[in-house]
Amino acid sequence: MTRVAGLDIGSTATKCVMMEDGRVIASVVVPSMPDMRVAAERALRECGAEGIPVLTTGYGRALYEARLAQVSEITALAAGVGFVAPVAATVVDIGGQDSKVVRVEAGKVVDFAMNDRCAAGTGRFLEVMSRVLHIPFEEFDAVACDEVEPLPVTSTCTVFAESEVVGLLSARHPPARILKGVLTSVCGRVASLGRQVGVKAPVVATGGTMYSQAVVRALSNALGVPVAVPAAPQFVTATGAALLCARRVAADVAAAAV
C-alpha cells in the first residue's frame, strides 16, 4: 500500500491528488493566492497527504521544498491524460496563466505549443471579461447558450478587448451575445495555437475552465472537432504528477533492492 501525491501549484488554483496503488483516493483544490507556499501546504493537509512522497508541478512547483521531484506541467498533463483518457491524441488545456496544446502518445509528450506571453487565449482573459460583464463563471452556461448569436470580440490583447467589451455594453448590446463573442475569441486563439502542432483527434480538453459547457462547445467549434472532457478536468495535471511520483518511488525502491 503505497500512497503518493501530485501537487499542481497553478497561477490561480493549487490542486492536490492523492493516489494509492494506481487509484485516485482524494483530491482537493484551494486558491493559490496570496501565498503559493501556504496554498501548497494547505492543499496537502486538506487532502490528507502530509508526510507521503510528493511530486510537484505548475508555475509554483519549486516553492514546495519537501518535494520528491518536480516536472513541468506539460509532462505532468501528458501523464495525467494517459491515465484518464488513454486514447487521446491531443490535449488542450486552458489554464489561468497560459493555454497549451499538447500532442500525446501513451502518456508522453510528442509536441507542444504554449501561449504564455499574452493573456488573450487564457483563463485570465475569461476572468477579466467575467468581471466586466458581471457574469460569474458559474453562470456562463446559462447565459451563453446555443440560441445566442456571438458578437465579434478581438483576441489580440486582453486590455484592448476589455475596452471593446465596455464599448459593446455601452452600445446596449446584450451581455449574452458579448460573452459568447468572448468565448469564441479565446477558443479561436487556442485553435490557432493548436495548428502549430496539428490537432489530431481524439481531442481531450482539461483545466478548470472546462467545467463550463459553453467553453467546451466554443472550443469544439473553433477546432472543428468534438472535444471530450474528463470527469475532473481541473485535476488531470495533478493526477499526472501523482502517477509520475508513484513511478519515481517504484524506481527508487527497485534501485535500492539492487
Partner 1 sequence: MIKLRANKRLQTTIRNQVLWTRFGSKIGRPVAWVTSGSPVEIVLAAGFIPFYPENHAAICAARGMSQDLAEQTEAEGYSRDLCSYFRVDVGSQISGRTPLGHLVPPDVILVSNNICGTVQNWFRVTAERFNVPLLFLDTPFNDAAPTEADVAYVREQLVHIAAEVARLGGRRVTEDRLSKVVLRSRDALELWAEVLAMAAERPAPFTSFDAFVHMAPIVSMRGTRRCISYYRALRDEVRERMKAGISSVPDERARVVWDNIAIWPVHKQLKKLFEQYHVSLVGDTYTSAWTVEHLEPEDPFTSLAKVYTDIILNHGAAHRVKVLSNMVRKFDATGFVLHSNRSCKRYSLGQFGVKTAVSSATGATGVVVEADMADPRSVSFEHLQQRLVPFFETLGASG
- Backbone angles phi and psi of 29, in degrees to 5: -130, 135
Cell of 52: 507521503
> Smallest distance from the beta carbon of 110 to partner 1, in angstroms?
8
In the complex with partner 1, the residue whose CB is nearer, 98 or 164, is 98
Among residues 68, 109, 169, 228, the one that binds partner 1 under rule CB under 8 A: 109
Among residues 41, 73, 93, 164, the one that binds partner 1 under rule CB under 8 A: 73
Site for partner 1 in 79-108 (CB under 8 A): 98, 108
> Smallest distance from the beta carbon of 175 to partner 1, in angstroms?
34
Binding of partner 1 by 117 (CB under 8 A):
yes
Binding of partner 1 by 71 (CB under 8 A):
yes
Binding of partner 1 by 192 (CB under 8 A):
no
In the complex with partner 1, the residue whose CB is nearer, 39 or 74, is 74
Maximum C-alpha span of the chain: 73
Q: Cα-atom radius of gyration of the chain, to the nearest Å?
A: 19
Cell of 245: 511520483
Binding of partner 1 by 122 (CB under 8 A):
no
Binding of partner 1 by 8 (CB under 8 A):
no
Among residues 69, 157, 169, 225, the one that binds partner 1 under rule CB under 8 A: 69
Query: 17 near 242, Cβ under 8 Å?
Result: yes
Among residues 70, 158, 184, 212, the one that binds partner 1 under rule CB under 8 A: 70
Distance (Å) of CA 228 to CA 24, 62, 219, 254? 20, 31, 10, 37
Give the number of other CB atoms < 10 A from CB of residue 34.
7
Q: Count residues binding partner 1 (CB under 8 A).
A: 17
Binding of partner 1 by 112 (CB under 8 A):
yes
> Is the sign of the CA dihedral 145, 150, 155, 160 positive or negative?
negative
Q: Could you tell me the end-to-end alpha-carbon distance of the chain, in angstroms, rounded to an integer?
A: 21
- 487532502: which residue's cell? 47
In the complex with partner 1, the residue whose CB is nearer, 1 or 106, is 106
Counts for the chain of helices (H) and strands (E), in that order: 8, 10
Distance (Å) of CA 112 to CA 75, 198, 236? 10, 9, 17
> Smallest distance from the beta carbon of 249 to partner 1, in angstroms?
15
> Smallest distance from the beta carbon of 150 to partner 1, in angstroms?
28
Helix axes 236-257, 73-84, angle to 10 degrees: 90
> Smallest distance from the beta carbon of 161 to partner 1, in angstroms?
21
Among residues 21, 35, 50, 116, the one that binds partner 1 under rule CB under 8 A: 116
Binding of partner 1 by 64 (CB under 8 A):
no
- In the complex, which residues of this chain contact partner 1 (CB under 8 A)? 69-75, 98, 108-112, 114, 116-117, 196
